[in-house]
Structure 1
Amino acid sequence: MLQKFKEHINKNFPFLKEQKILIAISGGVDSVVLTHLLKQLNFNISLGHCNFNLREKESDLDEEFVKNLSKKLNIDCFTTSFQTTKISEKNKESTQITARNLRYEWFQKLIETHNFDVVLTAHHSDDNLETFLINLTRGTGLEGFTGIPEINGNIVRPLLVFSREEIIDFATKNKLDWREDKSNASTKYTRNKIRHKVIPVLKEINPSLLETFSKTIENLKESRHIIDDKIADIKSEILQPFDYTQKDSVMKYNISKIQELSNPKAYLYQLLKEYNFTEWKDVFHLIVAQTGKQLFSKTHVLLKDRDFLILSKINNKKTKPSYFIDKNISKITAPLYLTLKKVAEISEENKNTIYVNEEALEFPLIIRKWQNGDYFYPKGMLGKKKLSKYFKDEKMSLFEKEQAWLLCNNNNDIIWVIGKRQDGRFYVKNMPKIMKISILNSL
Structure 2
Amino acid sequence: MLPLQQFQDFIKQHQLFAKDDKILVAVSGGKDSVLMLHLFKAIGVNVGVAHCNFNLRADEAQRDENFVKMLAVSLDLPFYITHFDTKKYAAENKISTQMAARDLRYNWFEELRIKENYDYIALAQHQNDAIETILINLTRGTGISGLHGILPKRDKLIRPLLCLTRQQINEAIDNNNLDFVEDSSNLSTNYTRNKLRLQVIPHLQEINPNLEKTFAENIARFADVEEFLAIQVKKLSAKLLNKRGDGIYIPLDELLKLQPQKLLLFELLKPFGFSESTIEDISNSLKSLSGTHFFSASHQAIINRNDLVIVAKDSNEHFNQFIHPSTKNILFGKHEVKLSFSTEIKFEIDANKAFVNADKLIFPLVLRNWQNGDKFIPLGMRHPKKVSDFFIDEKVPLHLKSSTPILINGNGDLVWIAGMRQDNRYKLTTATKKVAIFELEKY
- TM over 0.5, yes or no? yes
Runs of 5+ unmatched residues, structure 2:
341-347, 429-434
The residue number in structure 1 matching 2:254 is 257
Does structure 1 retain, via aligned residues, the 8 Å contact 2:377–2:423? Answer: yes
1:75, CA displacement in angstroms?
0.6
User: 1:155 offset after TM fit, Å?
Assistant: 2.2
- Whether 1:199 aligns to 2:201 is yes
CA contact (8 A) 1:135 1:145 kept: yes
Work out whether residues 25 and 31 of structure 1, in 8 Å CA contact, stay in contact via their aligned partners in 2. yes
SS at match of 2:161: coil
Residue deviations 1:220-271 (CA, integer Å, cap 9, x gap): 22222222232233334443443x1x45xxx343333222223323322333
Give the aligned partner of residue 285 of structure 1. Answer: 284
In 2, the alpha carbon distance for the partners of 1:400 and 1:18 equals 53
Report if aligned partners of 2:241, 2:249 keep a CA contact under 8 Å in 1. Answer: yes
Structure 1 residues 113 and 404 mapped into 2: Cα distance closer, same or farther (>3 Å)? farther
Counterparts in 2 of 1:330 and 1:305: CA distance versus 1, 3 Å: closer
Match of 2:219 among 180, 200, 217: 217
Shift of 1:206: 3.2
The equivalences for 1:93-112 within 5 A come to 93-112=95-114
Give the whole-Å Cα distance in 2 for the aligned partners of 1:379 and 1:47: 72
Instruction: In structure 2, give the amino acid aligned to 1:167.
Output: I
1:46-91 CA distance string (max 9 Å, x none): 333333333333233333333343444331414130333x443454
Distance of 1:378 and 1:371 partners within structure 2: 17
Q: State the 1:94 CA deviation.
A: 3.1
Question: For 1:176-225, what per-residue CA distance to the aligned partner results, in whole angstroms no more than 9, with x for missing partners?
Answer: 33221112122332222222233233334433332232222222222222
The 5 A counterparts of 1:394-405 are 394-405=394-405
Contact 2:354 2:416 in 1 (8 A): no
2:343 corresponds in structure 1 to none
TM alignment of 1:137-156, pairs within 5 A: 137-156=139-158
Distance 2:191 2:99 in 1: 12
Provide the C-alpha distance between the structure 2 equivalents of 1:240 and 1:364, rounded to a whole number of angstroms. 40
Give the Å deviation of 1:149. 1.9
CA separation of 1:310 and 1:221: change in aligned 2, threshold 3 A:
same
1:235 is the counterpart of 2:237: yes
Per the alignment, residue 77 of structure 1 pairs with 80
Query: Measured at CA, do residues 268 and 334 of structure 1 come closer, stay the same or move farther in structure 2, by a change above 3 Å?
Result: closer
For residue 113 of structure 1, report the CA deviation from its aligned partner: 4.7
Alpha carbons 2:300, 2:312 under 8 Å: kept: yes
Aligned twin of 2:345: none
In structure 2, the residue matched to 1:344 is none
| Contact 1:327–1:364 (Cα < 8 Å) also in 2 | no
Contact residue 128 and residue 148 of structure 1 kept, 8 A: yes
* Other structure's SS at 1:160 match: helix
Match of 1:169 in 2: 171
Offset at residue 277 of structure 1 (A):
0.7
Shift in alpha-carbon separation, 1:174–1:309, aligned structure 2, 3 A: same
Shift of 1:4: 2.8
Q: Which stretch of structure 1 is more off in the superposition, 2-11 or 293-302?
A: 293-302
For residue 128 of structure 1, report the CA deviation from its aligned partner: 0.8
1:218 counterpart SS class: helix
Change over 3 Å in CA distance of 1:129–1:63 after alignment to 2:
same
Evaluate the alpha carbon distance shift between residue 288 and residue 14 of structure 1 in structure 2; reply closer, same or farther with a 3 A threshold.
closer
Letter in 2 for 1:4: Q
Name whichever of 142-151 and 326-335 sits farther off: 326-335
Work out whether residues 204 and 211 of structure 2, in 8 Å CA contact, stay in contact via their aligned partners in 1: yes
Distance 1:218 1:292, change over 3 A: same
Counterparts of 1:306-345 in structure 2, within 5 Å, are 306-314=305-313, 316=315, 335=334
Does residue 267 of the first structure (1) align with residue 264 of the second (2)?
yes
Cα offsets for 1:262-311 (capped at 9, x unmatched) = 33233223333452514254343333555444444444444444444444
| Distance (Å, rounded) in 1 between the aligned partners of 2:163 and 2:325 | 62
8 Å CA contact 1:143, 1:224 repeated in 2: yes
* 2:24 partner SS: strand
Contact residue 22 and residue 46 of structure 1 kept, 8 A: yes
**Residue 142 of structure 1: how far off its partner (Å):** 2.0
Query: Does the CA contact (< 8 Å) of 2:318 and 2:369 recur in 1?
Result: no
Change (3 A) 1:201 1:71: same
Q: Distance in 1 between matches of 2:45 and 2:364?
A: 58
Instruction: Give the partner amino acid of 1:137.
Output: T
2:62 is paired with a residue of what secondary structure?
A: helix
CA 1:439–1:282: 2 relative to 1, 3 Å: same
Against the structure 1 CA distance between its residues 51 and 283, is the aligned structure 2 distance closer, same or farther, given a 3 Å change threshold?
Answer: farther
The whole-number CA distance in structure 1 between the counterparts of 2:5 and 2:117 is 29
Tell me if structure 2 keeps the 8 A contact 1:52–1:82.
yes
- Note closer, same or farther for the CA distance 1:300–1:437 as it changes in structure 2 (3 Å cut): closer
Q: Is the 8 A contact 2:122 2:157 kept in 1?
A: yes
Distance 1:156 1:323 in 2: 54
Deviation at 1:132, TM superposition (A): 1.5
Paired residue total: 432
Partner-residue secondary structure (3-state), 2:29: coil
Q: Identity of paired residues, percent?
A: 34
**Whole-Å separation in 2 of the counterparts to 1:257 and 1:56:** 60
What residue identity is the alignment partner of 1:65?
F
Match 2:7 to one of 5, 8, 11: 5
User: Structure 2-normalised TM-score?
Assistant: 0.74
8 Å CA contact retained: 2:16, 2:158: no
